[in-house]
C-alpha cells in the first residue's frame, strides 16, 4: 500500500509533462519583477545608497552573523550598486522574454536576493513570494516553451518541433509554495480573536495608510464583515487544499482571484495580488494552458508566432530513454 501511495506521489511530482505552463509562468513573473524594480528605481538613492535611509552597515547588523547571499555586502560605492541594479532589471527583462533563460533567471534570483539582503526593511510579502517564484523558475527548464530561446532555436533548426517533455517537479513546487502561503497564513490567523469573532476585515479598511479606493459603506456593517472575514479564511484554506481536487480547482482559483481583487481594490499593497495570483497558473497542465492560450488568440484573430506556442502535446507514448531529459 505504501509502495502504491509512493508510486502515485512519485508520478504526480516527478512525472513528465508539457513545459508550457512554466514558460508562461516565467514570462509573467519576469514581467512583474521588471515592473517591481522599475517602480522601486525612482527611489534608488533613498533605499540603496549610503546617503539614503538604509546604509550598507545595517544589512550586516540585520544578518545577525549568518552569511547571506549578498553581492553588495560592504559595498558603499553607488556606481557598483547602480550597475548591479541595472543588471537585475536586464535579467528580469530577459527572463520575461525567455532569452538566455537559464542564465537570466539565475542572475535575476541572485541579484534580487542581493538587493533583498541589502535593504530588507523595505520588503513586503510580494517581494518574498516573487523571490520564491524566481528560484523555482531558475531551477526549471522554463525556457523550453513560450520563449525567445525556443523561437530562435526553431529558426536555426536546432530545436525539435515538439520539445521534450520535462519533469513536473518545479511546477509542483510552485503549487506547494502557494499552498504553504495560504495554509500557514490561516494557521497564523487561527490565533487571532478578530478572525474568530468575524470582525477582522473591518480593521484594515480603517488604516488610512493602506487606503486606495473607498470601501462601499454597506460592506462595513454586520453581517457583511463577518461573511467577508470567514469567507477570507475559507478561500485561503481552500487554496491550500481543495484546489488540488480537479473538479473544484476552477472555482477555488476564482475565489482566490476575487479575494485578491477585493484587497487590490481597497488596499494599497503594490503588485502583491498580481504576483501571488500569477502562481495560480501552476495548477494547470501545459496542455490546458496552451489550449486556453490558443482559444484566446483565435478569438482575437491573432496567429501565434511559430515556436512561442508550439509545444509537444502530452504524448501518450513513452519516449525512448534517449529522449528522457535529465536534470
Partner 1 sequence: MDAPAPKRTVHPAIKVFVGFHALMVFMWTTPHPTLAAQQQFHKNTAVENLMRPKDSLLVFNEEMLKGEMLGPEKPLGKYMMVTGLWQWWDMFAPNPADIDVYIDAEMEYADGTVAIHKYPRMYELPIPMKYFKERYRKYRERLSDDSYSWKWSHTAQRLALENYRATGKEPVRVRLWRHWMQVAPIGQPQPSEYSGYMFWDYQVDHNKLMEDAK
Q: Does 282 sit near partner 1 (CB under 8 A)?
A: no
- Best CA proximity match to 134, nearest among 97, 86, 170: 170
For residue 137 the three cell numbers come to 523558475
Which residues from 19-58 bind partner 1, rule CB under 8 A? 39-40, 42-43, 46-47, 51-55, 58
Position 85 contacts partner 1 (CB under 8 A)? no
Closest to 283 measured CA to CA, from 231, 242, 232, 327: 242
Peptide bond into 152 cis (omega under 30): no
One of 73, 270, 291, 297 touching partner 1 (CB under 8 A): 270
- How far out from the chain centre does Cα 125 lie? 11
Q: Contact between 6 and partner 1 (CB under 8 A)?
A: no
Distance, CA of 59 to CA of 50 (rounded, Å): 12
C-alpha distances out from residue 53 to 38, 118, 119, 120, 121, Å:
19, 12, 9, 12, 10
Contact of 139 with 170, CB cutoff 8 Å: yes
Task: Give the interface segment with partner 1, choosing from 22-30, 195-203, 254-262, 296-304 (CB under 8 A).
Answer: 195-203
167 counts as binding partner 1 under rule CB under 8 A: yes
Closest distance to partner 1 from the beta carbon of 237 (Å): 13
3-state SS assignment for residue 16: strand
Closest distance between partner 1 and the C-beta of residue 269, in Å? 7
Q: Closest Cα partner for 110 from 82, 138, 129, 76?
A: 138
How many residues in the chain? 327
Verify binding: residue 122, partner 1, rule CB under 8 A: yes
Query: Element (H or E) spanning 167, and its range?
Result: strand 166-167
77 binds partner 1 (CB under 8 A): no
Least distance to partner 1, CB of residue 168, Å: 10
287-326 binders of partner 1 (CB under 8 A): 317-321, 324, 326
3-class state of residue 17 by DSSP: strand
Would you state the cell numbers that stand for residue 118, as one nine-digit string?
A: 541589502
Identify residues 142-161 at the interface with partner 1 (CB under 8 A). Answer: none
Among 4, 5, 157, 193, binds partner 1 (CB under 8 A): 193
Could you say which residues in the range 218-237 bind partner 1, by CB under 8 A?
Answer: 220-222, 225
Candidates 155, 212, 250, 295; binder of partner 1 (CB under 8 A) is: 212
Give yes or no for a contact between 294 and 309, defined as CB atoms under 8 angstroms apart: yes
SS3 55: coil
Closest separation in Å from C-beta 218 to partner 1: 13
Among 34, 93, 116, 159, binds partner 1 (CB under 8 A): 116
C-alpha cell at 138: 531558475
Binding of residue 128 to partner 1 (CB under 8 A): yes
DSSP code of 195? H
DSSP states of 19-51:
SHHHHHHHHHHHHHHHHHHHHHHTTHHHHHSTT
Q: Does 174 bind partner 1 (CB under 8 A)?
A: no
Burial class (CB in 10 A: 0-12, 13-18, 19+), 174: buried
Nearest approach, Cβ of 143 to partner 1 (angstroms)?
18
Candidate ranges 20-28, 93-101, 210-218, 281-289; the one touching partner 1 (CB under 8 A): 210-218
Count of residues interacting with partner 1 (CB under 8 A): 84
From 96-104, 191-199, 253-261, 298-306, span contacting partner 1 (CB under 8 A):
191-199
Min CB(308)–partner 1 separation in Å: 26
Instruction: Pick one of 1, 66, 300, 302: the residue that binds partner 1 (CB under 8 A).
Output: 66
Residue from 75, 90, 102, 169 in contact with partner 1 (CB under 8 A): 169
Min dist CB 64 to partner 1, Å, is 8
Amino acid at each position: 500500500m505504501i509502495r502504491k501511495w509512493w508510486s502515485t506521489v512519485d508520478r504526480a511530482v516527478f512525472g513528465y509533462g508539457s513545459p508550457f505552463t512554466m514558460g508562461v509562468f516565467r514570462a509573467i513573473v519576469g514581467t512583474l519583477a521588471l515592473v517591481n524594480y522599475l517602480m522601486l528605481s525612482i527611489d534608488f538613492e533613498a533605499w540603496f545608497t549610503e546617503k539614503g535611509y538604509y546604509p550598507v552597515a545595517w544589512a550586516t547588523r540585520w544578518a545577525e552573523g549568518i552569511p547571506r547571499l549578498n553581492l553588495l555586502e560592504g559595498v558603499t560605492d553607488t556606481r557598483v550598486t547602480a550597475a548591479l541594479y541595472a543588471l537585475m532589471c536586464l535579467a528580469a527583462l530577459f527572463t520575461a522574454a525567455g532569452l538566455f533563460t537559464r542564465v537570466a533567471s539565475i542572475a535575476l534570483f541572485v541579484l534580487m536576493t542581493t538587493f533583498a539582503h541589502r535593504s530588507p526593511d523595505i520588503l513586503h510579502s510580494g517581494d518574498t513570494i516573487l523571490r520564491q517564484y524566481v528560484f523555482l523558475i531558475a531551477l526549471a527548464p522554463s525556457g523550453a516553451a513560450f520563449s525567445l530561446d525556443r523561437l530562435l532555436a526553431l529558426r536555426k533548426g536546432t530545436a525539435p518541433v515538439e520539445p521534450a517533455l520535462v519533469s513536473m517537479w518545479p511546477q509542483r513546487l510552485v503549487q506547494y509554495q502557494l499552498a504553504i502561503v495560504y495554509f500557514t497564513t490561516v494557521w497564523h490567523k487561527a490565533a487571532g480573536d478578530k478572525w474568530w469573532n468575524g470582525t477582522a476585515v473591518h480593521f484594515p479598511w480603517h488604516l488610512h495608510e493602506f487606503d486606495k479606493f473607498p470601501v462601499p459603506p454597506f460592506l462595513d456593517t454586520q453581517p457583511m464583515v463577518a461573511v467577508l472575514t470567514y469567507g477570507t479564511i475559507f478561500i485561503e484554506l481552500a487554496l491550500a487544499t481543495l484546489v488540488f481536487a480537479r473538479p473544484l480547482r476552477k472555482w477555488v482559483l476564482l475565489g482566490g482571484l476575487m479575494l485578491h481583487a477585493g484587497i487590490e481594490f481597497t488596499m494599497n499593497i503594490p503588485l502583491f495580488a498580481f504576483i501571488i495570483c500569477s502562481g495560480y497558473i501552476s495548477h494547470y497542465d501545459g496542455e490546458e494552458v496552451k489550449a486556453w492560450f490558443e482559444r484566446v488568440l483565435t478569438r482575437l484573430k491573432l496567429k501565434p508566432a511559430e515556436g512561442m506556442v508550439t509545444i509537444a502535446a502530452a504524448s501518450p507514448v513513452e519516449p525512448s530513454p534517449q529522449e528522457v531529459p535529465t536534470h
